Structure 1
Amino acid sequence: MRSMPNYKEPELVITGVGVTSSIGQGKTAFASALFKGQHAFGVMQRPGRKGEASFIGAELPSLSYPEAISKRLLRTASLSGQVAMVTLQEAWDDAQLDHVDPSRIGLVIGGSNFQQRELYQTYETYREKMYFVPPTYGLSFMDTDLCGLCTEQFGIQGLAYTIGGASASGQVAIIQAMEAIQANRVDVCIAMGALMDISYLECQALRSLGAMGSDRYADEPAMACRPFDQMRDGFIYGESCGVIVIERSDFAMKRQGKSYAKLTGWDMGMDRNRNPNPSYEGEVRVIKRALEKAKLSPEKIDYINPHGTGSVVGDEIEIKAIQDCNLSHAYINATKSIIGHGLSAAGTVEIIATLLQMKESRLHPTRNLEGPIGVNCNWVKNEPIPAVIHNTINLSMGFGGINTAICMQKYESGI
């Protein structure tokens, strides 16, 4: 095979975003609440999520459905499916994808077991009358139902699949989308971190595992979510969904000439560990490889959006990895302190939070960061601050030993 010494991989840029979270639907509402540090934490009320115990979390407000979304599809879609279509509509319009050949558009949905609460409710409703189970259950229990809903609604004819990476799923989807474009399988690839709609069973098991926060703050739900604080005791769940549109910079320039940021470096690696405990070595490895791919020295990073769940062990290890990669100078805040942990959606929503902060040259506060661990880190605490941000790194990890890191650079021509 003839070598190509002058070949250069195309620059990849983000041209559209969509976000739905407990603090607002759409990027404008989301950004406004983010910079104010507004939250929606309380005792969760959704049917199928309340059992003998109560759990603190942040649930979505009532959705607003764009006229373009098929009412027929909405009628049989789960909450995860409805939120996926609504959120994708915002990103689709933002990137003006109506003008792209649908056979050259791909979709990668990050996450698995999206609809656990709905499955739990179906079982509870029909276990004594199985013959009355709705036929649509034969489709909706599969993760691929979200692919079907979105490709039918938006006419996508390129690749489409789901990919599970536990809490790193959102960033895994972004990495897969980038590599699909580099392989010339599509010209545009949409990456979605889908809403993982957990039930009472998952809440109870995650609490018993020591991953989800206890009832220490049962009387003060606003105080429960506290990543990197000395009084943290586990993550607090938050419903969310994020979508970004990725394409080659030359393709984007010909179409509309706007981008949020360049995707400059990334990496994914495993710890060889089935269990939920994090790995210092694994996190250091992906940080260094992402920086190397981006051709950046650590001092060039202005801002870090960390995984930062509020895990007793995980936060300590993540801060040590950041410090030992010579990144202590970079600003750090924790998006999960405001919106909670979206599990499969987290990595994508936090990329969007980073993009909006880059655009505004402002960093959102970190709620409840009263006694931070990692005293030598450059924390953004209880107030937003102005900051010029050129280069960023986002970190996302998942059960089963999954580590990811993504570097972005501000696109100077702007949006």
Structure 2
Amino acid sequence: MGQRVVITGIGIYSCLGANLEEVTKSLYAGKSGIVFDQIRKDFGFRSALTGMVPEPDLKSFLSRRQRVGMHQPAIYAYMATKEALEYAGLDIDFLEKTETGIIYGNDSTAASVVEAIDKAKEKHDTMLIGSGAIFQNMNSTVNMNLSTIFKLKGINFTLSAACASGSHSIGMGYLMISQGLQDRVICGGAQEINAASMAAFDGLGTFSVRESEPARASRPFDRDRDGLIPSGGAATVILESYETAMERGAPILGELIGYGFSSNGDHISNPSIDGQKRSLQMALKQAGIAREEVDYINAHATSTPVGDGSEARAIFDVFGEKVPVSSTKSMTGHECWMAGASEIVYSLLMMQNSFIAPNINFENPDEDSARINIISETKEQKIDCFLSNSFGFGGTNSTLIIKKV
């Protein structure tokens, strides 16, 4: 038996709200964060829909020197991590004197790279790009900025695994602590929402074009879905060993009991039912629980016909037809690199407040979604154990199981 791993803090900055309180209200109300963005249409996007996440002003929190190396992913992640640390009762004095790690999910820093190159082209002098550009441009921008700002002394790296990045970051933090290599790890995921970050994705033709009704465009599991909507922000989850959390008198929101993972080893973008099932089964086996003990599944379902159908079949094959399922992406859109972390935060908020957030816009099931128990309206329900799925390009799959302590 390794160390038990618990969650002692969470923070969120998303299209559903700028903090935990705002996000909880949005989840309960089934409120969408999707908007029409004229900038994208002018840019040449096929779809101008996006989850809208305002960029916060950090001047009241950080010095200019601290801010100079930060672009959207790091800025969003700072807000989420600040809230999570406050929740966990951790301050910089404590962090500087202890060994706290950070493993954060991030898979792009597109806009900052574009801006740096554009400036070099304009000035014909790379010396005028600015000293902060290199720290904004690197994929490890979140880790390098947050580890410096919060004086972190433990493990420090970025996890890049497409749309499963945030989930795998939590899984890796779990493994570090369970093996006794760290007492505490800050985990999470960040996703920029600027046009530069989503242009190539839009070019695949997988985004919804239901532009006349943005709030109804994201329709996971619904027969009439026509594609996903990109979104972003950041979510942070503080993991600690049970022993150190108890010693600190820290709040314990839940215990991470299972981390399943797999690789499809097949098509670079198409999902695999077999790969998803192996991830689900591994998480259940590691957690040591029966499938009937899972009270809720937060599905990866992004609102694409192939992806949603595959997951619905995988869930049915492993869990049957009874377990309640919803996809919070119906409200948020697909938060990409942060989704695996944000959906843990969303599910923990449901667990704390005894409700299941609705899979909004689910009006007509298809052959696959009709087989599982999709919750289309807010449901009052006690949740003692939940499971969250995250799947990404390249066939990477991650499943996390968390229970109340």
TM-score range, shorter chain: over 0.9
Distance in 2 between residues matched to 1:133 and 1:95, nearest whole Å: 38
The answer to which of 78-87 and 119-128 deviates more is: 119-128
Closer, same or farther: CA 163–130 of 1 in aligned 2, 3 Å: farther
Residues 179-328 of structure 1 correspond to what in structure 2 (within 5 A)?
Answer: 179-197=175-193, 199-200=195-196, 203-213=198-208, 215=209, 217-273=210-266, 275-328=268-321
Match of 2:150 in 1: 154
Match of 2:375 in 1: 380
Asked if the contact 1:41–1:222 (Cα under 8 Å) also holds between the matched residues in 2, the reply is yes
Asked if the contact 1:301–1:327 (Cα under 8 Å) also holds between the matched residues in 2, the reply is no
1:145 to 141, 145, 169: 141
Distance in 1 between residues matched to 2:97 and 2:111, nearest whole Å: 33
Match of 1:3 in 2: none
The answer to which of 65-74 and 94-103 deviates more is: 65-74
Task: Give secondary structure in 1 for the equivalent of 2:319.
Answer: coil
Measure how far apart 1:66 and its partner are: 8.6
Measure how far apart 1:255 and its partner are: 0.4
Closer, same or farther: CA 16–50 of 1 in aligned 2, 3 Å: farther
Measure how far apart 1:70 and its partner are: 3.7
The answer to which of 189-198 and 281-290 deviates more is: 189-198
1:25 to 18, 21, 44: 18
Match of 2:81 in 1: 88
Measure how far apart 1:203 and its partner are: 3.2
Distance in 1 between residues matched to 2:100 and 2:190, nearest whole Å: 18
Asked if the contact 1:240–1:346 (Cα under 8 Å) also holds between the matched residues in 2, the reply is no
Match of 1:4 in 2: none
1:168 to 131, 142, 164: 164
Match of 1:51 in 2: 43
Q: CA deviation digits over 1:317-369, x for unaligned, max 9?
A: 00000000024211111111111111000000000001000010111122211
Match of 2:327 in 1: 334
Measure how far apart 1:45 and its partner are: 5.0
Uncovered stretches (5+) of structure 2, i.e. residues with no partner: none
Closer, same or farther: CA 121–183 of 1 in aligned 2, 3 Å: same
2:4 to 8, 11, 16: 11
Asked if the contact 2:190–2:232 (Cα under 8 Å) also holds between the matched residues in 1, the reply is no
| Aligned-pair identity (%) | 27
Uncovered stretches (5+) of structure 1, i.e. residues with no partner: 1-7
The answer to which of 71-80 and 238-247 deviates more is: 71-80
Task: Give secondary structure in 1 for the equivalent of 2:310.
Answer: helix
Asked if the contact 1:49–1:199 (Cα under 8 Å) also holds between the matched residues in 2, the reply is no
Measure how far apart 1:182 and its partner are: 2.1
Task: Give secondary structure in 2 for the equivalent of 1:127.
Answer: helix
Task: Give secondary structure in 1 for the equivalent of 2:22.
Answer: helix
Asked if the contact 2:277–2:315 (Cα under 8 Å) also holds between the matched residues in 1, the reply is yes
Closer, same or farther: CA 19–116 of 1 in aligned 2, 3 Å: same
Structure 2 letter corresponding to 1:294: A
Closer, same or farther: CA 384–65 of 1 in aligned 2, 3 Å: farther
Distance in 2 between residues matched to 1:123 and 1:340, nearest whole Å: 30
Structure 2 length normalisation: TM-score? 0.93
Asked if the contact 2:2–2:179 (Cα under 8 Å) also holds between the matched residues in 1, the reply is no
Task: Give secondary structure in 2 for the equivalent of 1:24.
Answer: coil
Task: Give secondary structure in 1 for the equivalent of 2:371.
Answer: coil
Structure 2 letter corresponding to 1:302: D
Match of 1:5 in 2: none
Asked if the contact 1:196–1:343 (Cα under 8 Å) also holds between the matched residues in 2, the reply is no
Closer, same or farther: CA 58–303 of 1 in aligned 2, 3 Å: same
